[in-house]
Amino acid sequence: MRRLFALSLLALLVAATAVPTLSAEDVAESELMQAATELGRQYDANYNDKKPAAMAALYTLDGVLLSPSGSVVRGREALTTYYAERFASGARGHVIKVIEVHVQGNGGYGLAHFSVMAPRANGDLHEVDGRIVAIYQRDTDGWHMRLVQASVVPEPAEK
């Protein structure tokens, strides 16, 4: 699992350096933190209001989600479907807290913590905690998430 996380993080960092720039002007860390925090707030609001198209609109047109289950979701149409299915499962109460951001050219990447109430196999809801690594991109129409990798913190073993 650590190797998968390390390889995924490496891929995210490589992809972050490939983000095209809109101008020669770099982004300030404070601007990126504000943008990441606002995207997190919108993500939580759209998730909790169960708005799959609004969730997908937070990503770039070719945005990618590496979900906690390991599936790779590419593009806004697929993201809309993914979130519609996620909401139908009963997941709710999503909360993101951005921990740190790092500037790369006209965008950057960030680390965040999340929690969500998700159904178990028997339908009972339980809190799931995890981490997010996200690549942020400033486009002509504002800030978006280009790539998001969410990983779940394993629950302690029951005794």
**pLDDT tens digit sequence for 76-98:** 999 999 999 999 999 999 999 99
**158 part of a folded domain:** no
Determine, yes or no, domain membership for 27. Answer: yes
Domain extent, residue 87, equals 2-152
- Residue 28's CATH number: 3.10.450.50
- The domain total for the chain is 1
Asked if residue 157 is part of any domain, the answer here is no
Give the gyration radius of the chain's Cα atoms: 16
In a domain, 138, yes or no: yes
Q: What dihedral angle (degrees, nearest 10) is formed by the CA atoms of 39, 40, 43, 45?
A: -110
State the pLDDT at residue 11. Answer: 47
83 within domain boundaries: yes
- Of residues 5 and 48, more confidence is placed in 48
Q: 38 vs 34, 41, 92, 113, CA distance in Å?
A: 6, 5, 19, 15
pLDDT band at 69 (very low <50, low <70, confident <90, very high): confident
Of 35-39, 59-63, 89-93, 133-137, give the lowest mean pLDDT range: 89-93
Residue 37 lies in a domain: yes
Give the integer Cα–Cα distance in Å for 62 and 59.
8
